[in-house]
Structure 1
Amino acid sequence: MIRATTILRHDAVEPDRIVDVITLDHGDRHRRRIALTADGGTRFLLDLDRADVLEDGDAIALDTGWLVEVRAAPEKLVEITSADPLHLLTLAWHIGNRHVPAEIGRDAIHIGYDHVLVEMLEGLGATVRIVERPFRPVRGAYHHHESGGHHDHGHHHQGHGHG
């Protein structure tokens, strides 16, 4: 079976090497070792040194030299909004306090659907809407793309924005 031991981040992907696409939901994009079949039928064993998150637009490098592009599948999400930016920040705090993966946008927060959290958020005065779209939560503060096990927990205040 074809093996894949490397992930290329979206900004390093060479489009002319892509031979297939694999569509995965958020839960299935956090992997270390699993047999996968891409949308076009390419079968391979993902065999990473450690578990990692496959982001929309990343590519899985096959040992053949070809790439399989990763796409985030649409899934049922809760869209949380508020007319008051301070209220939205407070809602983000409540969500983070429950250690729930969240996608933070300028005007909305998205989380995976959970009826208990929907009731809590509505009780806190949030405007809540159920939507279907890819989920791209914020990565953990201590998560790094680099291999080799180096984890820098120092304070850096520049060059770490998300595009």
Structure 2
Amino acid sequence: MLHASRRIPQGAGLAPVLLKRAPTLTLDWDLRQKSRFDCEDSEGRRVGVFLPRGTLLRGGDMLVTLDGSLLRVLAAPQPLLRITHCPEHGSPFDLLRAAYHLGNRHVPIELQPDHLKIEPDHVLADMLRQMHLIVTEACEAFEPEAGAYGEHATMGHSHEHHGAHGHSHDSHGH
């Protein structure tokens, strides 16, 4: 069994050819939230993953095994609810309202410019339909937001931008 204990977010710093050639691990969101699990790679080998507690795996992350080989993480398609606004009875702003209500319930949510994705939940689906949103079942990769205090690096964002962009976020506009 291979043992993977190191994560390279989005394969940062690795040559693209290494990313393409690496065997893959296709994992759903439930598994990508765990720090210790067993799975099988695209070559049929058993892999034991042992990461620091609280580590989230994202599609595109690379794992390094104890023998130095690389494994590319893919987000597996899984059952989801895809939420879009109703062009007849609403506006795109309705998605913002929906994200607010789902966030208040601490629901993992993937935010896209034209839709939201959540894991299947008939109670939430009914609530969203009452808000005049269109809720459809889908089977797609799920990459929910990490949260305000989550692993920002996993989404490829840098938040060291205050000086670089000439603006800050204090209450005085300084």
Normalising by structure 1, report the TM-score: 0.82
Letter of the structure 1 residue corresponding to residue 68 of structure 2: G
Partner SS, residue 37 of structure 2: strand
Q: What CA deviation, in whole Å up to 9, does each residue of 1:101-141 have, x standing for no partner?
A: 00111111111111111111111111111111111111122
Paired residue for 1:98, among 101, 105, 113? Answer: 105
State the match for 1:27 in structure 2.
Answer: 30
Superposed, which structure 2 residues align to 1:53-64 within 5 Å?
Answer: 53-64=56-67
- Pair 1:40-2:32 in alignment: no
Residue 36 of structure 1 and its aligned partner are, at CA, apart by 2.3
- Kindly indicate whether the alpha-carbon contact (under 8 Å) linking 1:20 and 1:42 is maintained by their aligned counterparts in 2: no
Structure richer in strand, relative to its length: 1
Gaps of 5+ in 1: 147-154
- Pair 1:140-2:147 in alignment: yes
State the match for 1:130 in structure 2.
Answer: 137
Partner SS, residue 35 of structure 2: strand
In structure 2, what is the Cα distance between the partners aligned to 1:86 and 1:22? 37
Letter of the structure 1 residue corresponding to residue 146 of structure 2: R
State the match for 2:82 in structure 1.
Answer: 79
State the match for 1:151 in structure 2.
Answer: none
Letter of the structure 2 residue corresponding to residue 29 of structure 1: R
In structure 1, what is the Cα distance between the partners aligned to 2:103 and 2:152? 22
Residue 30 of structure 1 and its aligned partner are, at CA, apart by 0.9
- Kindly indicate whether the alpha-carbon contact (under 8 Å) linking 2:84 and 2:134 is maintained by their aligned counterparts in 1: yes
In structure 2, what is the Cα distance between the partners aligned to 1:145 and 1:139? 7
- Kindly indicate whether the alpha-carbon contact (under 8 Å) linking 1:103 and 1:138 is maintained by their aligned counterparts in 2: yes
- Kindly indicate whether the alpha-carbon contact (under 8 Å) linking 2:84 and 2:114 is maintained by their aligned counterparts in 1: yes
Indicate the percent of aligned positions where both proteins have the same amino acid.
35
- Pair 1:16-2:18 in alignment: yes
Letter of the structure 2 residue corresponding to residue 8 of structure 1: I
- Aligned residue pairs total 151
In structure 2, what is the Cα distance between the partners aligned to 1:119 and 1:132? 19
Partner SS, residue 126 of structure 2: helix
- CA RMSD across the alignment: 2.2
Change beyond 3 A, Cα 1:23–1:4: same
Residue 145 of structure 1 and its aligned partner are, at CA, apart by 6.4
Runs of 4+ in 1 over 4 A off after TM superposition: 155-159
Gaps of 5+ in 2: 154-158, 165-174
Partner SS, residue 36 of structure 2: strand
- Pair 1:108-2:115 in alignment: yes
Looking at CA atoms only, which structure, 1 or 2, has the larger radius of gyration? 2
